[in-house]
Structure 1
Amino acid sequence: MIRVLIADDQALLRGSFRLLVDSTPDFTTVGEAGTGVQAVALAAEHRPDVVLMDVRMPEMDGIEATRHICAGPATAGTRVVILTTFDLDEYVYGALRAGASGFLLKDTRPADLLTGIRVVAAGEGLLSPTVTRRLIDEFARRPEPTRPLPRRLAGVTEREREVLTLIGRGLSNAELAEHLQLSLATVKTHVGRLLTKLAVRDRAQLVIVAYETGLVGPGGPR
């Protein structure tokens, strides 16, 4: 059973999301929050698998609420999917940097939303090609790093760096396997080791690490 917390300041939307979630056999809603502060409190109380988080909410916005949830010891296993009607670049990097595992627009088809929840609950990142392009654009506006951050990548093997670089470019596990001529199981092992060594939650955070350490830049791999 995938346990979902819904955080949105509009009661009608919360009700619609709840109806969708609760009508799906292996899903259940554990709570609804109308503010960011409520979302943080309910997440700590119920420890859901996934939080559907609106960006614009009173008292505390969704990005700050995501930061609190992802950093909280009681909610270490909780994943956050950012939902918004605003397709704005400024939210993408901020949300993922705060620890969000995915980013979807509210006009996403119901079936795709449920699929996204499953993907995130399983520990994967929900990054569409559009979101990956926005990350590239965001880093293109930032100053060039002087060099990769060696301490962050200490203990990462050359093969794992190669995998991390390709993840930063947006490749899926299947695409990684084809590109590197490895089995899918081997690729999953490399990804799992990267998550452990870099102490990150999921694939979305690996993309952030790939950019922040300079392995991947606006023009491609460095």
Structure 2
Amino acid sequence: MKVLVIGANGQVARHTLSKLKEEGHQVVAMIRDSSQADELVKLGADETVVADLEASFDHAFDHVDAVIFAAGSGGHTGADKTILIDLWGAIKAIDTAERMGVKRFVMLSSMGTVDPDKSDRIRHYLVAKKLADDHLKRSNLTYTIVRPGSLTNEQAEQVIKLEEEIQIRDNAIKREDVAIVLARVVNLENTFGKTFEILNGKTTINDALASI
């Protein structure tokens, strides 16, 4: 399957490139800056495409079978950039996928989007993510929405906790483990039309995904 990774230079997405290759996919990395291309090819991308979520990016979807949306405005930007990337950029990507005939769409979202009012510090971010997720659910795309908790940089252990909504949030999750989940759900039919949260846990990723 030819998979377009949007936001390919992000921390989770960079891991996702190699994980998709391990799953046997052809990987297209969407980037804003052509200078990032060589490094992302080394990480696992078969090709790169320069496109900007704040502009027109239809060309990035040519001959693509699936999309992983892993773009984010980052923690050091303001609410205006969050709206443009995490909300409006995601909505445009969903609409473009529908228009271009792409059927499969995997969204990297965030834990906490069920009720953004429970968070004061990043409420604007969670609202943006929730509205983007809701737009995806209303689309005709075959979607999966993955909502990790706080992210860390330790090496993957491939054991997680997975629930539709995790009530006891006493843990974080490794970025590399999130990437493994994103890559594996692309072809997993039992994850189609599903939304779930993930944290570090004790269940292997394969078993956790099989339980959905």
Report the structure number with the largest CA radius of gyration: 1
TM-score (norm 2): 0.45
Between Structure 1 and Structure 2, the one with more strand by share is 2
TM-score (norm 1): 0.43
Higher relative contact order (CA 8 A, sep 6+): 2
